[in-house]
Every structure is written in C-alpha cells, then in structure tokens.
Amino acid sequence: MTRASQTIAFLVALVSVWLALFLGYIPTSTKVQDEIVPVLPFWSIVSFGAYLLVKLGYGVLTFNDVPEAHKELMAQIESAREELRSKGVEVD
C-alpha cells in the first residue's frame, strides 16, 4: 500500500466517522451533536494549518548553512558553465 493510498484510506475513514456522527448514526448527547460535530471539519483544517506553520517555523529555525553543499553547488555551476561555453553559449 503506497503512502497516498494510506492517506486516502485514513481520510475516508475520518469522513465516514464524522458523517455517522453528523447524521446521528452514532448516538451522542445533544450538546455534542448540535455544537461540536458540525464544526469538526473547520477545526481540523485550522489545526492542520497551525501544524504546518509550526513545522515550517521549526524548519526555518533549525536551518543550518552547509559549506560542503555550497562548494558542491558552485562546482556544478562551474561545470555547467564550461559545458555551455563548449557548445558556444556565452555565459557570464
């Protein structure tokens, strides 16, 4: 099972449970049925967005300069320039 099919199966299961709660097939108290279940999709979207923002912020916070990667990238750029010059393209 691929990662995409696992994610789709998980989302289908969540939507099925929410739909069963929303339609009343799973009995809950009236307060939960009327006030919490209808806003669960919006709450999940907001929570997922907050998670992604935290993950992005942590990635920016822990970003490290890698001198070896810089040297490797500069070498690749130089080899690309040499290859283009050999083909008659002006690069500067």
Q: Token match 């919006």: residue?
A: 42
List the chain domain ranges: 1-28, 38-91
Do the beta carbons of residue 81 and residue 91 sit within 8 Å? yes
pLDDT of 17 reads 95
Task: Give, for all 92 residues of the chain, the pLDDT tens digit.
Answer: 799 999 999 999 999 999 999 999 999 999 999 999 999 999 999 999 999 999 999 888 887 777 788 889 999 999 999 999 999 888 87
Q: What whole-number distance in Å separates Cα of residue 33 and Cα of residue 66?
A: 53
pLDDT of 82 reads 93
pLDDT of 90 reads 86
Four-residue CA torsion sign, 81, 79, 67, 53: positive
- Model's pTM, two decimal places? 0.59
pLDDT of 62 reads 81
pLDDT of 44 reads 93
